[in-house]
């Protein structure tokens, strides 16, 4: 069996291993070792070690645990609870006000944390019981939490973009700048959908009763500014320093971690117990991300060395569809993989394979990176492997069924695909801000 056939065989073997229930990183590394040894012999061990060493020595990846730590501290500081309370009052007269407040706050949370688990969990505990008490449509309630919560993987400081940058040789600062507008576009689509659905059918999301929002407008404005300040403080400190070129992503992540500590201390939530919980959660999440990163890096190294990349390139470039047809095929592959495989594995396997094809198709690599990221965001909502669904189910009240959550994500996946189509049709949604900032 020739080496290219062995390389292609690695793909179904990974699928079988994952469906069998083995850990993703172990499947990736195990398949690489076995198939690589058969096709290459003992030198495959040197290849695997060099790929693992490249991951461990990458100077951007330390930003991952620092941003995770920042998100964990902000979650425990109770910042979201204060902001959510006043947003309900401020948006109270609108139909679907609590769902709108949820997506709005998730957008700010995304720009302050860059992860998915924290906003989905926090808003699941805050917003879902509040919506159920007011008899919101449960699929709409769960869908709004999940869709809003997953914005953290696209809006900077996105962990996804931190991993993407060094993998594709792109500036993380430019990726962060390019990710702002697509993230806000998706947030706007979610808000518009909730508003329209609840206006057409008020029973799905009634407005807040007048007695619960009886507060002078000036006081509401003051409380909104006060309780939104922590989010803008972190956003300016972290994103501002990166986008303005004052700090590299890793340095900005350290600034963010310090900001998280200061905010927790300011709100008198920096107890030893909560600090310990944040450290343990950061360790667990970071270890999960980095072990899969090593496994996927090893896999792609062996796959490309055996000639698998050439096979995929020849196949895609040989399709009679033109550049946008090939792009559609790539995005369709990513979308389907999102049903079954973790986003980290998809990212780290696909980019070394598809990335070299992008210039051949005439596309801007920065634009493709954000298009890829928007497409990959659907993986957080598409069952059965949608981890965000399991986060929400774990904190949801007893009356919420998994089937209701599945029904709730369908409209929002559709909105994500509409957002994907818009950034493909109108590239300046992605490229305008990086062009403005960096020329």
Q: What is the pTM of this model?
A: 0.85
Query: Which pLDDT tens digit goes with each residue over 296-330?
Result: 788 888 888 888 878 888 888 888 888 999 999 99
Tell me the per-residue pLDDT of 335-381, one tens digit each, with 9 for 90 and over. 988 887 778 878 888 888 888 888 888 999 999 999 999 999 888 88
Find the angle CA(19)-CA(418)-CA(68) to the nearest 5 degrees.
Answer: 55
Six token digits for residue 431: 């490229």
Q: Match 């801007």 to its residue by tokens.
A: 364
Question: Following CA atoms 341, 342, 346, 347 in sequence, which dihedral angle do they give, to the nearest 10 degrees?
Answer: 170
Give Cβ neighbours of residue 34 (< 8 Å, ≥ 6 apart). none
pLDDT by residue, tens only, the chain of 439 residues: 677 888 888 888 887 887 787 887 888 888 888 888 887 778 778 777 887 777 777 777 787 788 788 877 877 777 777 788 888 888 888 898 999 999 998 888 777 666 666 678 778 888 888 888 888 999 999 999 999 988 888 888 888 888 888 888 888 889 989 999 999 999 999 999 999 999 999 989 888 888 777 788 888 888 888 888 888 888 788 877 877 777 777 888 888 888 888 888 888 888 888 888 889 988 887 887 788 788 878 888 888 888 887 888 888 888 888 899 999 999 999 998 888 777 887 888 888 888 888 888 899 999 999 999 999 988 888 877 677 887 788 778 888 888 888 899 999 999 999 999 999 999 999 999 998 877 6
Alpha helix locations (H) across 97-171?
97-113, 117-133, 138-149, 159-168
**Is there a contact between 91 and 135 (Cβ–Cβ < 8 Å)?**
no
Tokens 């019981």, residue located = 129
Task: Let me know: does 288 contact 42? Beta carbons within 8 Å.
Answer: no
The answer to whether the CB of 380 falls within 8 A of the CB of 388 is yes
Q: Greatest CA separation found in the chain?
A: 77
What is the per-residue DSSP string for 60-115?
Answer: STTHHHHHHHHHHHHHHTTHHHHHHHHHHHHTTTSTTHHHHHHHHHHHHHHHHH--
Measured CA to CA, the distance from residue 267 to residue 73 in angstroms comes to 11
Asked if residue 335 lies in contact with residue 141, where contact means CB atoms within 8 angstroms, the answer is no
CA distances from 247 to 109, 138, 250, 253, 266 (A): 22, 43, 8, 9, 25
Residue whose token pair is 């469906």? 19
Contact partners, residue 169, CB within 8 Å, separation at least 6: none
From CA 135, how far away is CA 193, in angstroms rounded?
Answer: 19
What the block records as the tokens of 376 is 């990959």
Find tokens 């667990």 and name the residue.
Answer: 284
Q: Which residues of 378-406 are buried (b: 16+ CB within 10 A; e: fewer)?
A: bbbbbeebbebbebbeebbeeebeeebbb
| Token pair belonging to 217 | 């407008």
d(CA 32, CA 35): 6
Distance, in Å, from the CA atom of 200 to the CA atom of 411, rounded to the nearest integer, reads: 16
In sequence order, which residues have a C-beta less than 8 Å from that of residue 308 and are 6 or more positions away? Answer: 4, 7, 8, 10, 353
d(C-alpha 140, C-alpha 342), whole Å: 25
Which string of b and e fits 88-104 if b means at least 16 CB within 10 Å? bbbbbebbbbbbbbbbb
The gap between the terminal CA atoms of the chain, to the nearest Å, is: 50
Contact predicate 200/405, CB 8 Å: no
Give me Rg for the CA atoms of the chain.
22
Would you mind telling me the total number of residues written for the chain in this entry?
439
């Amino acid at each position: 069996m020739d080496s290219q056939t062995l390389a292609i065989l690695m793909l179904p073997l990974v699928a079988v291993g994952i469906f069998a229930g083995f850990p993703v990183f172990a499947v990736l590394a195990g398949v690489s070792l076995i198939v690589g040894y058969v096709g290459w012999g003992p030198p495959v061990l040197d290849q695997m070690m060099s790929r693992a060493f490249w991951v461990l020595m990458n100077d951007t990846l330390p930003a991952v645990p620092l941003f995770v730590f920042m998100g964990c501290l902000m979650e425990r500081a109770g910042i979201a609870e204060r902001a959510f309370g006043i947003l309900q009052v401020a948006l109270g007269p609108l139909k679907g006000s609590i769902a709108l407040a949820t997506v709005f706050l998730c957008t700010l949370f995304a720009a302050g944390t860059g992860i998915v688990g924290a906003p989905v969990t926090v808003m699941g505990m805050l917003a879902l019981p509040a919506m159920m008490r007011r008899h919101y449509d449960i699929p709409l309630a769960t869908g709004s939490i999940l869709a809003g919560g997953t914005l953290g993987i696209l809006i900077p400081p996105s962990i996804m973009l931190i991993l993407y940058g060094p993998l594709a040789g792109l500036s993380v600062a430019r990726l962060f700048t390019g990710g702002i507008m697509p993230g806000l576009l998706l947030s706007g689509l979610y808000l518009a959908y909730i508003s329209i659905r609840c206006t057409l059918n008020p029973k799905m999301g009634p407005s807040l009763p007048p007695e619960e929002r009886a507060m002078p407008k000036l006081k509401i404005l003051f409380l909104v500014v006060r309780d939104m300040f922590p989010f803008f403080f972190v956003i300016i400190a972290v994103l501002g320093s990166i986008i303005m070129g004052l700090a590299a992503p890793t340095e900005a992540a350290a600034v963010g971690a310090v900001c998280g500590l200061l905010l927790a201390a300011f709100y008198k939530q920096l107890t030893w117990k909560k600090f310990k919980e944040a450290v343990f959660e950061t360790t667990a999440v970071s270890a999960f991300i980095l072990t899969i990163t090593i496994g996927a890096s090893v896999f792609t190294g062996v796959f490309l060395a055996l000639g698998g990349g050439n096979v995929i390139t020849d196949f895609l470039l040989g399709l009679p569809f033109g550049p946008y047809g090939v792009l559609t095929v790539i995005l369709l592959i990513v979308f389907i993989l999102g049903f079954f495989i973790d986003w980290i594995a998809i990212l780290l396997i696909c980019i070394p394979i598809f990335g070299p094809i992008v210039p051949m198709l005439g596309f801007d690599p920065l634009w493709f990176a954000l298009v890829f990221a928007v497409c990959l965001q659907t993986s957080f909502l598409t069952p059965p492997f949608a981890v965000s669904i399991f986060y929400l189910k774990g904190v949801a009240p007893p009356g919420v069924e998994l089937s209701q959550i599945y029904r709730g994500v369908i409209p929002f996946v559709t909105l994500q695909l509409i957002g994907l189509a818009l950034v493909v049709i109108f590239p300046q949604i992605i490229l305008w801000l990086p062009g403005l900032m960096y020329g």
